[in-house]
């Protein structure tokens, strides 16, 4: 189901928002870096070692969408840059995402 005002890299499954992500580990900063090629681009400073980049991404998403980290679930792509994440009951959408 497409939601007006929400970018195509997102889809709703009841109250859960499923997000397609492209993760860039070892970046200069931690940030949501916009949408490109149908994916939300996320930069994290953590290296892709011992799940550190995934954990940093989950923390960043939890803060951006106004939920606890326990409500952000990695569905696919644990060892890849391209990932699918579920965010249960987000309380807000980041500004750049609403505009996309």
pLDDT tens column, 23-64:
999 999 999 998 988 999 999 999 999 999 999 999 999 999
Domain contains 4: no
Residue at 68 is within a domain: yes
Q: Does a structural domain hold residue 73?
A: yes
DSSP-assigned letter for residue 97: H
- On whether the CB atoms of residues 79 and 53 are closer than 8 A, the answer is no
Is 45 contained in some domain?
A: yes
The predicted pLDDT at position 93 comes to 87
Evaluate whether residue 41 is within a structural domain: yes
Range of the domain at 74: 10-94
pTM of the model: 0.87
The residue with greater pLDDT, 8 or 7, is 8
pLDDT bin (cut points 50, 70, 90) of residue 83 is: very high
**pLDDT surpasses 80 at 96:** no
The phi, psi pair for 53, rounded to 5°, reads -65, -40
pLDDT at 99: 47
Q: Is the pLDDT of residue 15 over 50?
A: yes
When divided into structural domains, the chain yields a total of: 1
Domain membership of residue 29 (yes or no) is: yes
- Domain of residue 30, CATH code: 3.30.1200.10
DSSP H or E segment with residue 24: strand 16-24
């Amino acid at each position: 189901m497409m939601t007006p005002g929400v970018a195509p890299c997102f889809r709703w499954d009841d109250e859960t928002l499923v997000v397609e992500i492209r993760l860039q580990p070892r970046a200069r900063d931690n940030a949501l870096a916009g949408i490109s090629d149908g994916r939300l681009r996320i930069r994290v400073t953590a290296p892709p070692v011992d799940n550190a980049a995934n954990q940093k991404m989950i923390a960043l998403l939890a803060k951006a969408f106004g939920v606890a980290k326990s409500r952000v679930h990695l569905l696919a792509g644990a060892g890849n840059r391209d990932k699918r994440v579920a965010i249960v009951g987000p309380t807000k959408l980041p500004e750049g995402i609403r505009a996309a």
